[in-house]
Each structure stands twice: as C-alpha cells, then as structure tokens.
C-alpha cells in the first residue's frame, strides 16, 4: 500500500493526469438486455404498492451475477403518472489489489429483490414495531412518488462508465468493466422511457457513497442536456480534502491497512479523480444545471467528525474535520450568486442524516418545494411527430429500414439527424415550399424534448413545421442511400 507522502504524490499525479484527459459524455449504456424478474405487492400502513424487480444482463457485478433494480410504484396507484425518486443507498467503496484480494467491503455481489427493497422499507417502517418513520424517503412515498432503487454491485460510488476494465478483478476472466454509472443511467432511461411508468419530475437521493452517485448521475445527464429536477447528496462528497483526512488515519476506511485511496480512484475513474468533475469546482465554475442539496452531520465518522481536528484543517481555520472536508463545496455554493444549491454541515448528527427523523428533512422539503414552485420542465418529457407519405414512399422506407436493421420510425429519425448535419455543413438547402406531409401512410417518431432543439431550430429557419422536417428527413435519407 502507498502511504503518507508517496500516496499523496500518486493521488495528485492521478488527478492531474485524468484532468488532462477529461471524461467521455454521453456515458455509454444500454437498456436492450433488461428483463423483468418478479412482480409482487407489499403493504405499507394499509396501502398497497406494486414492486417490480429487473435485471440488466448487459452489466456484470464485480464478483458474479448482474446488475438489478427495483421499482416501487405509487401507493395504491400503479401505472399512474408520478414523480420519480431515485434512491442510491450507501455501502462504502473498495478495490482489488494486485493479488486479486478485495479491500473495502464485499459489495460486489448481485443484489436480490428483498435486499434492494429493504433499503427503502427500513426507512419507512420500524421492522420490530411496525411504527412509521418520518424520513425523507418515507415522505416521498406517502406523497405518491415512484421509487427506483438501483444495484450497487460494482462498489464504485455508482460512477463507473463502462469504459475501463475493473482493475485486478480476478472474476469474469479479466474482461469485466466498472459499470455503476452506466447501469444506473440505463435503469433510469428504462423507467422514464417506459409507458408502464409515466414520469414527471425526477429527483436522485444518495446516501453515503450513494451521494457521489447522485452527483455523477445528475451531472452526466446534465451534460446530455437532460436536467434532473434535483439531487440530494447525504453524507459523502468527492473532494481533494479527503486525502489529508484519509492520511491522518481517522476514518472507518483506515480500518483495512491495505485499503488504497489511489486504487479506488483508478477503479472509479473521472468522477473520483477529474478535478473539473468535483462538485466544488463545477459549482465554482458556474454549474447550476441541476440543483443539489448537500448535507452531513458534524460528527460523521467518514469525514473524521468524531476525531480531533487534523493539523491541516486547524491551519485553515476549521474547528471540525467535516467542516473542513465539505468546506470547499459549501463555500462555492455560498459564493454563487442566486445559487439553486444548498450545502450544510449540521451541528448535530453523524452519518446519513436523511434516514432518521430531524429538522434536515423539513429543510430539504422546503428546498424541494422551492424547486417545484418554479414549475421546472419534466426531464424526460417526450414529443411525438408525424410524417405522412404516399404508399410507394412508405414501401421504400420500410425496405430501407429493414436493410439497416431498424424500424421505419428509426429510419425517419436517422433522416432527420442527417438532414440537420448536412444543413449545418451547407450540403442541403431549404425547400422552395413546404412539403405535402400527408398520404395514406404515416410514421410517428418520438423524441425526448431535450433532443429536439436542433430539429425545432431547423423547422423555424426553413419555415416548415416539425412534422414536415420529419417528412423531409426521411426523403433525404432515401436520397442519401441511393
């Protein structure tokens, strides 16, 4: 294990190296191998909730099995239009060493239905008495939210983007990748894109290591033009200030003498090591795309809050290690004019405040109410456009789509993308008059609203409707195909 000055030098070198290379957006992911495993119902305080358990066979857990996720439907109203609350539970973080031994816990196994579900139900009902809990997620459930609980079986802060092999992983023949973020986004894409789960607003709520996942998920979507409604980050943050606290040996992670912070950064990748992706730096640079609420208790052991102040924190004027660790983020939020963010170190409490009763839940609710009062757009809202053709053109589109291995709507969508690209390159000119967008054959194409800016701009520029852009795009694709 690298320790002391050597570890710090290595970590700093890694930060600089990854900052130079940046991070690839959009994050690669697929919903094509998701399958429903079980459907059941549970009872909560006299109400019934339908619960679906899925597996995504495209993403492998660190040791064995595949990523799963659970969808808890709104109480007594399965299939209804509802806001989505994505809950990312904690569980630490870990890595394999060069000998294939794992350090940092054992959260690299497939997660069962009951296991995933327990992270929510344990925050709603006291198991031994049946009494209700007034926690943050319990409030959302009784308000009629739909809840998504993704798996955490790569133990990677929910931040792996499937572009790197899992370092030193002795399982899967050395071919496994680190997939937490990709699998998480795939689960979110699947739920928000399914007619089974009509979705309005979307919030992500991370606890402990899930806080890093909440930042990664909301930031990665924002880079794609999809702005989640808000993100709650409870009791962990990626910051350069973790290093001196870890080096002081005062966190639970230090209990394993072979736990290597640099190895974690190598495994997790950019969201653990790219300086520009640290929340404190992104917000200092003006990030406002998704409102975040960051909180931690002053006595949280994972930031050394229950230990004497380390020298570097004291020298910087802090009287508490957690105030030091979260200081850069909190100061960036405080310095941002009109910031939508909120960042607090609570003077009481320890690790993961939102799973217990406390004034923080009221404060978060007030923050949520403020966001919703502004009537933000639904992040995954969709619009459908209709292109009409004569039968001969429809037959040609069917044949061309079949040759390409896609559907007629897929062919029309491809044509729109080609038309936009060729127009930007000066390779096509506007039609002399709007096309005859009618006929016995119609093809409907549905887009996320976040993906329609260019086609709407082209429609405005050419003086045609968005439907007519789809008609023109399909014909353009046919002409390109020869």
128 and 236 share a domain? Answer: yes
Give the Cβ contact number of residue 164 at 10 Å: 15
Q: How far apart are CA 89 and CA 75, in angstroms?
A: 21
367 and 387 share a domain? Answer: no
Q: DSSP letter at 132?
A: B
Biggest CA-to-CA distance, the chain: 79
Q: How far apart are CA 74 and CA 356, in angstroms?
A: 22
Report the pLDDT value the prediction gives residue 322, as an integer from 0 to 100.
98
Question: What is the DSSP annotation of 154-188?
Answer: T-STT---SSSB-TT--SGGGT-B--HHHHHHHHH
Question: Which of 319, 352, 373 is at the close of a domain?
Answer: 373
pLDDT tens profile 163-222? 999 999 999 999 999 999 999 999 999 999 999 999 999 999 999 999 999 999 999 999
Range of the domain at 241: 4-373
435 and 301 share a domain? Answer: no
Residue 465 to residues 422, 435, 462, Cα–Cα distance (Å): 19, 10, 9
Report the pLDDT value the prediction gives residue 342, as an integer from 0 to 100.
98
| Cross-strand partners of 378 | none
350 and 435 share a domain? Answer: no
Residue 452, phi then psi, degrees to nearest 5: -105, 0
Q: How far apart are CA 26 and CA 327, in angstroms?
A: 30
317 and 201 share a domain? Answer: yes
Report the pLDDT value the prediction gives residue 106, as an integer from 0 to 100.
65
Nearest to 360 by CA among 233, 236, 242: 233
57 and 125 share a domain? Answer: yes
CATH code assigned at 74: 3.40.50.1820
Nearest to 184 by CA among 161, 211, 207, 209: 161
398 and 364 share a domain? Answer: no
427 and 337 share a domain? Answer: no
Report the pLDDT value the prediction gives residue 11, as an integer from 0 to 100.
38
Report the pLDDT value the prediction gives residue 407, as an integer from 0 to 100.
93
Residue 387: strand, helix, or coil: strand
Residues 6 or more apart from 161 whose CB is under 8 A from it? 23, 24, 27, 28, 178, 179, 181, 182, 220, 269, 270
Mean pLDDT of the chain: 92
Number of domains in the chain: 2
245 and 389 share a domain? Answer: no
Q: Give the chain's residues under pLDDT 70.
A: 1-24, 106-108
Task: Using the structure block, give the residue that is written with the tokens 């809840």.
Answer: 147
Question: Which of 342, 373, 404 is at the close of a domain?
Answer: 373
| Cross-strand partners of 39 | 52
471 and 346 share a domain? Answer: no
209 and 104 share a domain? Answer: yes
Q: How far apart are CA 185 and CA 165, in angstroms?
A: 19
Q: DSSP letter at 125?
A: B
Question: Which of 373, 403, 433 is at the close of a domain?
Answer: 373
Q: How far apart are CA 302 and CA 300, in angstroms?
A: 6
Task: Using the structure block, give the residue that is written with the tokens 């802060």.
Answer: 157
Task: Report cis status (omega within 30 of 0) of the bond before 361.
Answer: no
365 and 405 share a domain? Answer: no
Q: What is the pTM of this model?
A: 0.88
Residues 6 or more apart from 69 whose CB is under 8 A from it? 53, 54, 56, 116, 148, 149, 150, 151, 187
Tokens of 457: 């701009």
Residue 358 to residues 175, 297, 366, Cα–Cα distance (Å): 45, 11, 14
């Amino acid at each position: 294990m690298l320790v002391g000055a050597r570890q710090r030098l290595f970590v700093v070198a890694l930060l600089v190296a990854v900052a130079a290379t940046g991070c690839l957006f959009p994050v690669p992911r697929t919903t094509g191998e998701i399958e429903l495993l079980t459907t059941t119902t549970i009872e909560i305080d006299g109400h019934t909730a339908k619960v679906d358990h899925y597996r995504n066979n495209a993403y492998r857990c660190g040791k064995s099995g595949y990523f799963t996720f659970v969808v808890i439907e709104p109480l007594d109203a399965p299939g209804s239009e509802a806001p989505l609350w994505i809950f990312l539970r904690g569980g630490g973080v870990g890595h394999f060493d060069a000998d294939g031994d794992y350090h940092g816990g054992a959260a690299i196994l497939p997660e069962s239905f009951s296991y995933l579900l327990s992270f929510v139900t344990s925050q709603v009902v006291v198991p031994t008495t049946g009494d209700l809990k007034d926690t943050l997620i319990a409030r959302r459930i009784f308000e009629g939210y739909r809840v998504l609980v993704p798996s955490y079986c790569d133990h990677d802060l929910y931040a792996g983007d499937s572009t790197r092999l899992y370092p030193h992983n002795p399982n899967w023949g050395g071919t496994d990748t680190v997939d937490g973020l990709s699998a998480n986004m795939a689960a979110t894409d699947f739920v928000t894109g399914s007619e089974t789960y009509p979705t309005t607003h979307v919030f992500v709520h991370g606890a402990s290591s899930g806080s890093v996942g909440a930042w990664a998920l909301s930031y990665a979507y924002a880079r794609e033009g999809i702005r989640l409604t808000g993100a709650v980050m409870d009791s962990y943050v990626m910051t350069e200030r973790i290093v001196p606290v870890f080096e002081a040996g005062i966190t639970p992670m230090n209990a394993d003498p072979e736990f290597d912070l640099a190895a974690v950064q190598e495994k997790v990748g950019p969201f653990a090591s790219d300086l520009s992706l640290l929340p404190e730096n992104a917000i200092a640079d003006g990030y406002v795309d998704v409102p975040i609420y960051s909180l931690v208790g002053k006595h949280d052991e994972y930031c050394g809050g229950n230990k004497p102040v380390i020298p570097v924190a004291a020298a910087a004027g802090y009287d508490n290690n957690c105030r030091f660790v979260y200081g850069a983020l909190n100061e960036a939020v405080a310095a941002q004019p009109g910031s939508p963010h909120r960042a607090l170190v609570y003077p009481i409490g320890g690790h993961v405040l939102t799973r217990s009763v406390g004034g923080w839940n009221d404060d978060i609710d007030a923050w949520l109410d403020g966001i919703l009062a502004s009537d933000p757009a639904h992040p995954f809202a969709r619009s459908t456009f209709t292109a009409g053709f004569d039968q001969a053109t429809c037959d040609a589109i069917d044949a061309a789509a079949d040759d390409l291995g896609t559907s007629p709507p897929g062919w029309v969508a491809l044509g729109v993308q080609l038309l936009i690209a060729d127009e930007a390159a000066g390779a096509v000119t506007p039609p002399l008059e709007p096309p005859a967008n009618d006929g016995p054959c119609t093809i409907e194409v549905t887009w996320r609203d976040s993906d329609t800016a260019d086609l709407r701009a082209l429609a405005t520029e050419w003086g045609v409707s968005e439907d007519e852009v789809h008609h023109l795009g399909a014909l353009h694709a046919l002409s390109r195909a020869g």
